[in-house]
């Protein structure tokens, strides 16, 4: 047990870093799906058939923007 106590802060830092990288992998598909879902809901309500595609594109762009922000922050942390 004493050996694990020495690694506490370092281990916590590794878990936080891993969580940030996992967030990068999840943010793009989640934003894409959310954009498509909102477009599909608006299509059902307004009967404008191109809204799911517009939502898909908008969600993908938002996901890429979040991915780039997260990647740049992770690179800045490593320096």
Tell me, yes or no, whether 68 lies in a domain: yes
User: How many other CB atoms sit within 10 Å of the CB of residue 60?
Assistant: 17
With a threshold of 0.85, does the pTM exceed it? no
Tell me, yes or no, whether 67 lies in a domain: yes
Q: Which domain range does residue 70 map to?
A: 23-78
Tell me, yes or no, whether 15 lies in a domain: no
In tens, the pLDDT along 16-75 reads: 878 888 888 899 999 999 999 999 999 999 999 999 999 999 999 999 999 999 889 888
Total number of domains in the chain: 1
Tell me, yes or no, whether 56 lies in a domain: yes
Tell me, yes or no, whether 45 lies in a domain: yes
Give the whole-angstrom CA distance, residue 31 versus residue 60: 6
Pick the closest to residue 38 from 56, 14, 65, 62 (CA basis): 56
Tell me, yes or no, whether 43 lies in a domain: yes
């Amino acid at each position: 047990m004493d050996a694990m106590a020495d690694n506490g802060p370092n281990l916590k830092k590794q878990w936080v870093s891993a969580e940030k990288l996992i967030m990068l992998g999840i943010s793009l598909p989640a934003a894409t799906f959310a954009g498509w879902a909102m477009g599909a809901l608006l299509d059902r309500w307004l009967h404008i058939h191109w809204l799911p595609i517009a939502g898909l594109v908008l969600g993908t762009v938002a996901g890429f923007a979040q991915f780039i922000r997260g990647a740049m922050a992770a690179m800045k942390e490593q320096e």
